[in-house]
Amino acid sequence: MTDGPATVLAPPRRVGGAASVTGATVRAWSGRARDSATVVIPALLAGALALHGLASRSIWIDESASISIAAQHGHALWAGIAHDGGNMLVYYLMLHVLVGWFGDGIEVVRLPSVVATAATAGLLALVARRLWGSRAAVASGLLSAVSLPLVFWGQNARSYALMVTFVTASFLAFVVLVDRDRHVPAPRWVWLSYAVVTSLACYMSFVAVLVVPAQLLSLAVRRPSAKTVRAVAGALVLAGISCIPLAVLATRRGSGQLFWVVRPTLAGLGQLVHSLASSGVLPNFPLTATSDALLVLTGVLVVAVTAAGIARPADPWSATGPTCDEGSLAPPGRDGQATVVWSRRGRWTWVLACGWLVVPVVLGVAESFVGQSIFVPRNFLMCVPAVALLLGAGLTRPHVPRALGWSIVAVLLVLRGLQVAPTYGVSPENWRAATSYVVARTEPGDCIAFYPSDGRMAVDYYLERDPSSEARAPRPVLPSVPFAEVRAYVEQYVTLSGRRLRAVERSCPRLWLVTSHSGEPDGTSASKADYTRFVALVGSLQRAYSSTRVVSFGWASPVRVELLAH
């Protein structure tokens, strides 16, 4: 879809008996280059922002779980995947292959998320270009590229960036499948692609399924042909069948992997709103001086452009509106029938984009109140591109003066960039510094204990990077497996029994206690139980030893390092 009225090229004039096609060829190549730039430039910007300082931030406990699970083989690998209920199954398998080929360097394990973040910006530009034209594609793609939540998760060895990519690809395939002349059925590869990318999104994270109702809801406005409806239904059935193994694993695991997620609170809603507006990633990074300004401006603009878009959908046959793709209807006749059809199509584009933003959030919040809570801002990360899509489309509408629209886009990009820049190299959960601190101060005979055992994976990762540090590290007693043996310890809130504690006290003159994610006194019942065990463990150790110093590294989920000695 282009930005101006359709242009009919006259047949080439013959000069000297030969067709002069140079002008038409140049225009065709120029148009293709311009269309490619609307996708490539946002993708390159997003990739550059995610690639910059990729290794500067310490891994956090969930990243260490990804790396440790991916490093396993055979039964141990499947046990690690099954423990998470199949969530991120395809991601773990992909990372397993990647680590086997190239090792587990921080750049290697985070690179898939970088590529995914770049792909998301490019795919979103394609969605915007298909729905509204090239100007909307550029604006939407750039706003998606300069987004703190997307850049942050684009630098993580977790599957969330890939989930967003496949969700965006799902919307693109859905648009290509649905947005066409009623008499021109979609090729088979389109609905097959829609099924594949939708199922892959779910394999990256369960919550990706929340976008499917948003897509289906938009069909009531678009009113596609019966063939298109059957194609959408067939693709979703195929996706559902492919997700049966995921459903089996999730059923066996139950809601155990979400034991720590609390019901929605006002503070949690504030974190979610900041994430959707790309004005913050709380509690990982503190808000900047311009975070609230970006939040308010984004909220006002999203409401305004969405309301205007639904109330006044652009007429594709006006002198300034977007034109139609191949297979579109003819210009409106005197009866205005085609105008009505395309007005419905214009309204559908806004309903689709708005549904992408609103429906998953509403369904997720409702589920969190009536069932198992999933209310964590990163579970709604797939809605962040929808905000960029609405802003990009709304600010480049034909009714908006071009200078004004692009000026606002520029302001948004600057404000978004001011949120991204301060986060580079900042580690909200600094296991690298904690490991270096312990190794530098370890004395012969020292021991180390972790609560929960998950922290052992992060320390093990950094010890593996430096064999001399591993040789100087304290002897593990909780868990008691030597550091040379890499295992996946996920959600293992294990303490020392009385007998084991006495053995540790006899054999360890000094004990390092490393804790993080140790439960919440005001969290869920499971988190409260974990915290109670943590308090009991600290109390028993402090009765057996004297605490000499306590140091914390980070702030979001700080790594607490306590040295105990006789």
Q: 10 in a domain, yes or no?
A: no
CB 198, CB 239: distance < 8 Å = yes
What does the pLDDT look like over 383-412, one tens digit per residue?
A: 999 999 999 999 999 889 999 999 999 999
**pLDDT value for 555:** 92
Q: How many distinct structural domains can be found in the chain?
A: 2
CA 519 from chain centre, in angstroms, equals 25
Q: 414 in a domain, yes or no?
A: yes
Quote the CA–CA distance of 315 and 189 in Å, as a whole number: 30
Residue 472: name the closest of 435, 430, 429, 503 by CA.
435
Quote the CA–CA distance of 156 and 112 in Å, as a whole number: 9
Q: 388 in a domain, yes or no?
A: yes
Residue at which a domain ends, from 394, 423, 452: 423
Residues 354 and 456 in one domain: no
Residues 416 and 476 in one domain: no
Residues 382 and 440 in one domain: no
Residue 436: name the closest of 23, 7, 10, 58 by CA.
58
68 backbone dihedrals φ, ψ, rounded to 5°: -70, -40
Give the sign of the dihedral formed by CA 380, CA 382, CA 384, CA 389: negative
Residues 160 and 103 in one domain: yes
What does the pLDDT look like over 509-537, one tens digit per residue?
A: 999 999 999 999 999 999 999 999 999 99
Residues 393 and 441 in one domain: no
Residues 277 and 148 in one domain: yes
Quote the CA–CA distance of 560 and 545 in Å, as a whole number: 17
**pLDDT value for 106:** 97
What does the pLDDT look like over 284-310, one tens digit per residue?
A: 999 999 999 999 999 999 999 999 998
* pTM of model > 0.95: no
Q: 75 in a domain, yes or no?
A: no
Burial class (CB in 10 A: 0-12, 13-18, 19+), 458: buried
Alpha-carbon distances of 233 from 215, 228, 469, rounded to whole Å: 11, 9, 56
Residues 221 and 270 in one domain: yes
Residue 348: name the closest of 185, 187, 217 by CA.
217
Residues 125 and 245 in one domain: yes
**pLDDT value for 187:** 87
**pLDDT value for 83:** 83
Residue at which a domain ends, from 362, 389, 423: 423
Residues 311 and 343 in one domain: yes
Residues 375 and 491 in one domain: no
Residue at which a domain ends, from 397, 423, 449: 423
CA 412 from chain centre, in angstroms, equals 21
CB 348, CB 153: distance < 8 Å = no
- CB hemisphere CA count around 329 (13 angstroms): 18
Residues 441 and 401 in one domain: no
Q: 15 in a domain, yes or no?
A: no
Residues 471 and 348 in one domain: no
Size of the chain in residues: 566
**pLDDT value for 26:** 67
**pLDDT value for 510:** 96
Q: pLDDT under 50 in the chain at which residues?
A: 1-19, 315-341
Quote the CA–CA distance of 381 and 257 in Å, as a whole number: 19
What does the pLDDT look like over 61-94, one tens digit per residue?
A: 999 999 999 999 999 999 888 887 788 999 999 9
Q: 112 in a domain, yes or no?
A: yes
**pLDDT value for 316:** 44
**pLDDT value for 21:** 56
At 161, which helix (H) or strand (E)? Answer: helix 160-178
Question: Which structural domain range is residue 526 located in?
Answer: 431-565
Q: 58 in a domain, yes or no?
A: no
Q: 163 in a domain, yes or no?
A: yes
List b or e across 405-420, with b for residues whose CB sees 16 or more CB atoms inside 10 angstroms.
bbebbeebbebbebbb
248 backbone dihedrals φ, ψ, rounded to 5°: -65, -45
